[in-house]
Structure 1
Amino acid sequence: MSTAKKSVITIIGAGPAGQMAALFLAKQGVGSLLIDKGAHPRSKPCADVVTGQAIRVLYELDENLPLEKVFTDKYLRINGTLLHTPNGSQLDIAFLPLNKLEHLPTCIAMPRADFDNWLHEKIVASPLIETLDNTVITGWEKDSVTGEWTLLNAHKQAIVQSKLLIIATGSSASLAYTVGNLSKEDKHFAIGVRGYFKNIGNADYPNHAELFLHRKMMPGGFYIAPFNNGIANVNVVMRSDVAKRNHIDLKQLFWEAIELHPTLKERFKNAEQIGKLEGGALHLGTKTRPISGDGYILAGDAGGLIDLMSGNGIPQAMISGKFAALQAAKALASNDFSAAALKAYDANVYKKINKDLKLGKLLSPFMGNDFILNRATNAINFIATRKGAQVQLSSLLYTKNVAATLINPMFYWKLLT
């Protein structure tokens, strides 16, 4: 007799995508089982930046949630990005207040361990969400008649039986590839290395994230996100195909940047590393993929929704988790978990996040070419010397139609003059 748990809706992965799926299901009065290979609090290599889109999702879940003191005490409000160009120039790209939600921060930085654990406390407090921690799913079976999934552990024992799987396991876990037929393509994939350091403060821009551009790291860059406790997230991200072609050792590149870059060398001379460097993978949203199918939904990084330009995946994860919950509730109500019934999820997610991913999709085909990257480096250096450049670049972040802006000669006229 099977001892497997039975849950109509099972969510695999308790990061922001999976947590939002569980919480938005509970908001609709629908129960779920949330499985994770670890237990909170836990570390996750990440940029640790939560943008306005993610803050909006928290507000939609519960308008008081982003105002909780236990949450606000842990984050630093980020007012903009300081862009350091290869020639040593700086551009201050300011963030605008959230439309209709001016009382909430546009962007914050806090360690993922703290952010995920704060959301986990909401999960545990909900009577409609059952959790199964420290549980690794290594295989699955699907009944061809009933459509029911059976999830297996390393001993091929049945753990869970479910009608619908919401897979939110991140960029590298196998379920997205075996269940969701996701494929890994190096030109749509990136690798990253992250470490925590203290005593690298930037007194002139204490509430800014920073991006250092260097030709050797492109497409990618060296990022710094400060926290409110004097510690900062420091990471390097680079697209996989370029890293492989140029035989880049990302950890070596990380330390080279700190030791050789004039600005970074000065900033890190009294820095102290906290813990060790950790590596991660990023499945980029530079192509549109199917993110649902017969009896399953892919959410967050498992669906390849990370923004190439910022390397950020948290807002897309939370948005997709919300839409996964809304679609799952409809499927439950109609008792129809077919691919056709779930297909609207894909359209809803891409419609919502298309603006965030569009610039990366437009530029991605050109960013693996060394000739173009060299020309792009020269252009960035030149633009950085123009007085109005930061205003134009800031406006690009908020334009509704990125493609139309980029083909409009007036944009470049304003940028260069």
Structure 2
Amino acid sequence: MSHKVFDVIIVGGGPSGASCAIKLADANLKVALLEKALFPRDKTCGDALSVDVVNQVKILSPVLEQQFAEMSNKIASYGVKIVAPNQKHVDIPFIHKGNKSFGYISPRLDFDNLLFQHAKALPTIDTFENCTVTKVATNSSGVTVDTNLGSFSAKLVIGADGAHSVVQKHLGDIQVEKDHYCAGLRVYYENVASFHEENFIELHYFNEILPGYLWVFPLAGNKANVGIGVLSSVVSKHKLNLKDVLQKLINNHPHLKERFKDARPLETVKGYGLPLGSKKRNISGERFLLTGDAAALIDPFTGEGIANAIRSGRVAADHAIRCFEQQQFSAAFNKAYDKEIYRRMWGELKISRLLQQLVRYPWAFNFAVKRAQESKYIQQFLIDALSNIEKKKKILFKPGFYLSMLFR
């Protein structure tokens, strides 16, 4: 079989891999982007694209920003509805810098394809679809990647191949830990009733799945993305059959069954795993970097991972360029990548872990939502928390905030 030589090999063409390739396109490096599927391909996900995702797309490329603006199969979402275990809820609009803001909801089939096709069209990026990686190995002179299309070699490999990363499996040391891993299900529906007029995404928290939640996200064309995400430790402890839990809640819960009485599933239930960014890991080593889900950078509270995937792809590209500038590919040199990733992301991931721990307790969650309904101060905090990480840090770690929860 053939053997191809590159400077950088990116394994995985999802948001982190495609973003990394886009950032490397002008670096005067030979870059191979290997993808096991043929795009467009589905990705089991909630399909919500946060305000941060939109901003990351803008940073990547003005052309890509315009292509995203013209992408038809998406709808704008102007906020989130959080439903506590006692079924009281609070609506939180998206506000950015004092102005009304919005994210989008779009099937990953379309969004991921947009990023991949943009990367594929770049003349300095060689893409290989239907390319299944079977082995990744390093040696003193480089890294070798064996695939069904032949072998590839390079100075550096970037693992952007998701939760079940082959690069991580062969070169890394990240273990599946049930308290830092989430099990999820998704099913597309049509004719789900009674969405917010501004397409708020919905997070429904129930006692039996805390700190997880059931989500209902509106989509274009009278469709909806419906799913459930629960910590693997909770699934194991209570021996939950998530498919049964999801269907029972949809069919029987008073606040859901009326909305779903005329709804029809458009597919069988799809399952997936989410490696959560609730602890720091080693995400690089000798001649390799990990990005996105392969680096376990998913928000432990919301389950959102797309923005951090794109961001980590950008950071990985910047670090790769420095590797070649200094001809340094060692584990020690690549530790700078880990430091930069966590410098940018750990503050928010740590707070999300704290919030995840807090919502384990139904009484606390019910109380917090009740206070949010009553207090403009708490409502403003929640708005700020969704748009301003620095403000969220300052408020959450101030004892006075918790006093205000009681008395304001």
Bin the TM-score by the shorter chain: over 0.9
Of 328, 345, 359, the residue aligned with 1:353 is: 345
In the TM superposition, what whole-angstrom CA distance separates every residue of 1:293-322 from its partner, at most 9, and x where no partner exists? Answer: 110000000001000111000000000000
Shift of the 203–220 alpha-carbon distance from structure 1 to 2, 3 Å rule, reads closer
Structure 2 equivalent of residue 199 of structure 1: 191
> Which residue identity is paired with 2:374?
R
Pairs within 5 Å for 1:366-385: 373-380=361-368, 382-383=370-371, 385=373
> What residue ranges of structure 2 are gaps of 5+ in the alignment?
none
Pairs within 5 Å for 1:139-154: 139-143=135-139, 145-146=140-141, 148-153=142-147
Structure 1 equivalent of residue 396 of structure 2: 406
Q: Does 1:34 align with 2:22?
A: no
In the TM superposition, what whole-angstrom CA distance separates every residue of 1:66-86 from its partner, at most 9, and x where no partner exists? Answer: 233664422211111011122
In the TM superposition, what whole-angstrom CA distance separates every residue of 1:223-272 from its partner, at most 9, and x where no partner exists? Answer: 12212222111110000011100101111111011012212111111111
CA displacement at 1:141 relative to structure 2 = 2.8
| SS state at 2:38 partner | coil
Distance 1:60 1:399 in 2: 19
Distance 1:401 1:294 in 2: 37
Distance 1:133 1:69 in 2: 22
CA displacement at 1:127 relative to structure 2 = 0.7
Shift of the 381–215 alpha-carbon distance from structure 1 to 2, 3 Å rule, reads farther
Shift of the 366–83 alpha-carbon distance from structure 1 to 2, 3 Å rule, reads closer
Distance 1:381 1:324 in 2: 39
Aligned residues: 405
Of 175, 181, 186, the residue aligned with 2:178 is: 186
| SS state at 2:268 partner | strand
> What residue ranges of structure 1 are gaps of 5+ in the alignment?
none
Moved more, 391-400 or 303-312: 391-400
> Which residue identity is paired with 2:401?
F
| SS state at 1:267 partner | coil
Distance 2:121 2:150 in 1: 27
CA displacement at 1:324 relative to structure 2 = 0.5
Moved more, 381-390 or 175-184: 381-390
CA displacement at 1:96 relative to structure 2 = 1.2
Distance 1:415 1:165 in 2: 48
CA displacement at 1:189 relative to structure 2 = 0.5
Distance 2:335 2:371 in 1: 43
TM-score for the superposition, normalised by structure 2 = 0.92
> Structure 1 vs Structure 2: percent identity of aligned residues?
30
Pairs within 5 Å for 1:14-413: 14-68=13-67, 71-97=70-96, 106-143=102-139, 145-146=140-141, 148-153=142-147, 159-363=151-355, 373-380=361-368, 382-383=370-371, 385-388=373-376, 389-397=378-386, 398-400=388-390, 402-413=392-403
Distance 2:38 2:332 in 1: 34
CA displacement at 1:337 relative to structure 2 = 1.2
Q: Is the 8 A contact 2:26 2:124 kept in 1?
A: no
Moved more, 188-197 or 58-67: 58-67
Q: Is the 8 A contact 2:211 2:357 kept in 1?
A: no
Distance 1:72 1:279 in 2: 27
| SS state at 2:90 partner | strand
TM-score for the superposition, normalised by structure 1 = 0.90
Distance 2:169 2:358 in 1: 27
Q: Is the 8 A contact 1:4 1:159 kept in 2?
A: yes
CA displacement at 1:97 relative to structure 2 = 2.9
CA displacement at 1:391 relative to structure 2 = 2.8
Q: Is the 8 A contact 1:191 1:280 kept in 2?
A: yes
Distance 2:289 2:68 in 1: 34
Moved more, 236-245 or 389-398: 389-398
| SS state at 1:360 partner | helix
